[in-house]
Structure 1
Amino acid sequence: MALTNNTMPEPDWGNTAPAWRLPGWAEPIMVASILVASMVFTRKKNYRVFDRRRKPGGILDDADSARSSDDLLARDYMLSLTGDSNSIDSMSTMKNPPKKRRVCGVTLLTPNTERFADYCHSRILQKYPFLMEMFYWVITYGFYRCTSLTSQAIFSKTGIWDVAQDHGLAILEFEQYSWASFLWPVKETSVQQWFMNGHETFMTVLNRSYALIHIPGTVGFIAWYYYVAPSHPTFATVRRTMTLTNLFAFMIFISYPCMPPRLLPQEYGFLDTVGRNKAESVWMSGKYVNSLAAMPSMHFGYSFIIGCTFLYHSGVFRKSLEAGERRKSAPWAIWYCLLAVAYPSWILLTIVATANHYYLDACAAFFVALAAYAYNRVFLALLPLEDLLLWCLRLNKPKPTTGDRFRQNW
């Protein structure tokens, strides 16, 4: 059965009125405060950036030794290509032997950046290792900013707005008339109108939640888990899963532009409550923002991963803990379990009530997040590129402090 615009009621704003607008500087200040606080709390204790006892170093220092090390690296690598078994043994006698990275069954030799450990910018990174996490997320955000331009270029001939609207209506038709319609007994428009008529204050809270939770909330979660995670590998698994969820979603955004319900013609019954409430996030505005990226919902994808992390952190469903990890007390375990359920549920309610996503968007995000977790180790193949980048920048990768400061406070 085709979905027509005559099947939906006219939208009703009820008694709502535009609420106060959050100042444009508020969100950047919140995010910056979270990041600075994270740097401070996860800093390396008893480590001085400017240590008078160490030998002065700089980018231009030790040029000869760096050059000789590069020559040794090239020599050893060439020997390995010729099949000389003595080439690997020769690396053990070097001061900074090349790193051996195993990628897709192939062993690669990459530069060892330990020679740059005493450089000033390396020591700053050693003091504040959380800067590496900030760097990763800046790159991810940069990729997101490119999805709008890429998608527009692909659909320039057909018109991306019309294509995205057709995709949005196709999702509504699937939800209401397909074999899976029993999964969504309450329509999105009914959920929104319930809040718009008699529960306007709650609607305002949801609007603010949609704007503030996605970026500040996610950054805050990453900072918190870096501080309390039982080990860096565990933290890195969560970080890689979230990043790969992003990249999977970006590919869908580009190839399948989808109009959110709030941007559909008004006769379909949806209202742009976030826009009317002037609750748009400052991070979601500007030239490079992709407003036609409803499928999948990254809000729900993030919240699902965060909820699973809370559940794992509670330790309730784990027979054995990681090395150095302590069993949570009953109140703390219950608290984390409640958060694991409440947070994704709140986000799901928020994205549907504000007409920013369809039910199917959340379902797609669920499967995207599962796929990202299953294949998160694919990012380990990029370690050789990271080694090369750090070598070009003359930076030594810091030793993570994940969980160190938290365990010290036990």
Structure 2
Amino acid sequence: MTERAARRPRWWAELSLIAVVYAAYSGGRLLARGDEGGAVEHGLAILRLEQALHLNAEHPLNRLFTSTPALGIPADFAYASLHYLVTPAVLVWLFRRRPGRYRAARTWLMLSTLLGLVGFTLLPTCPPRLLDAGHGFVDTMAQFSAYGWWGAEASAPRGMGGMTNQYAAMPSLHVGWALWCGVMLWRHGRTPLFRALGVAYPLLTVIVVMGTANHYFLDAAAGAAVMGLGLLLTAPALRLADRVRATLPGGEAPVRSPIVGGGCETSAGERIPGQRSSTDSADDTTAWGLPSSGDAASVGKAR
């Protein structure tokens, strides 16, 4: 078995884990709706703070997208779809092409997503498009809804607005997930095109979320901050997961000198097919500049 095949996690286990986490996130997001009055106050407070700091880029971008359908319509399509297409595509790409890096990348994304849910719960925020018209914002997705599948309720398909929390604006996980994708493409892509996409995609997302009046600039900044905190928690989370796995029946203990039947030990550098070595665990964390989850296993000498 090749090294790549030995390192790759089980696809069905990964798919189940991602589905469970995403379902918990989606359900929690709906439960964290908050009251409309409080959400509006939070949105206005963010807008006032941005204006005081001269960070209010949302108004000019929104006016540009609103007055120029050639920009506004593609931006609406990007907001409504790329978030749900690019991130899974990058996950699959990592799973297939960079299996030694996949586990840490997936853990980072999941932790950051759950941290975003905490933000939605503690700080429900009205996005610019839902503020009173006197504040100068136009909902481009409502304006150009005839061109897409969405209605007047963010990116939700028509008639399914009740399935989304429109006040889950702070932090912006559109930006957070795009930043994660950008880091993956930049760090693990082998061509200049991948690196260019790694830079362009997060920047484009920041412009889109503000131009469509779905997020404030500080929402975008908070999305990046959440991803940074998730990255810091990734190594401890991986170490904890390894400890828990080792205590379960059939869990993997730290790899020592494996014995392959008949009392004969493996020779140096040899391992049982499908066995996860400690260097694989190290790959998950050291590739990110994070501490390894364990020391390299010693290999016994042949008798």
TM-score (structure 2 length as normaliser): 0.71
C-alpha separation in 1, matches of 2:236 and 2:163: 28
Distance 1:226 1:271, change over 3 A: same
Q: Write the mapping of 1:166-185 to structure 2, written as runs, cut at 5 A.
A: 166-177=41-52, 181-182=53-54, 184=55
C-alpha separation in 2, matches of 1:345 and 1:169: 25
C-alpha separation in 1, matches of 2:250 and 2:36: 41
Which of 223, 228, 241 does residue 365 from structure 1 map onto?
A: 223
Between 1 and 2, higher relative CO (CA 8 Å, sep ≥ 6) is seen in 1
Distance 1:195 1:257, change over 3 A: same
Kindly provide the amino acid, as one letter, of the partner of residue 236 in structure 1.
R
Matched-pair contact (CA < 8 Å) for 1:242–1:372: yes
C-alpha separation in 2, matches of 1:261 and 1:136: 34
Counterpart check, 1:247 vs 2:114: yes
**How many pairs were matched up?**
241
Kindly provide the amino acid, as one letter, of the partner of residue 186 in structure 2.
L
Matched-pair contact (CA < 8 Å) for 1:303–1:344: yes
Counterpart check, 1:129 vs 2:17: no
Percent sequence identity over matched residues?
26
* Partner of residue 189, structure 1: 59
Q: RMSD value over aligned CA atoms?
A: 3.0
Distance 1:376 1:268, change over 3 A: same
C-alpha separation in 2, matches of 1:342 and 1:239: 22
TM-score (structure 1 length as normaliser): 0.53
1:128 Cα offset (Å):
9.3
Counterpart check, 1:303 vs 2:170: no
1:269 Cα offset (Å):
1.3
C-alpha separation in 2, matches of 1:399 and 1:201: 53
Q: Secondary structure at the match of 2:125?
A: coil
C-alpha separation in 2, matches of 1:147 and 1:190: 34
Q: Secondary structure at the match of 1:292?
A: coil
Q: Secondary structure at the match of 1:375?
A: helix
Q: Secondary structure at the match of 2:32?
A: helix
Q: Secondary structure at the match of 1:259?
A: coil
Tell me, which stretches of 5 or more residues in structure 1 are unaligned? 1-43, 46-126, 315-327, 392-397, 403-410
**Could you tell which deviates more after superposition, 283-292 or 339-348?**
283-292
Kindly provide the amino acid, as one letter, of the partner of residue 224 in structure 1.
W
C-alpha separation in 2, matches of 1:239 and 1:344: 18
Q: Write the mapping of 1:93-242 to structure 2, written as runs, cut at 5 A.
A: 129-152=10-33, 155=34, 160-177=35-52, 181-182=53-54, 184=55, 187-197=57-67, 199-229=68-98, 231-232=99-100, 234-242=101-109
C-alpha separation in 2, matches of 1:189 and 1:174: 14
1:305 Cα offset (Å):
1.3
C-alpha separation in 2, matches of 1:228 and 1:167: 43
Matched-pair contact (CA < 8 Å) for 2:50–2:218: yes
Kindly provide the amino acid, as one letter, of the partner of residue 304 in structure 1.
L
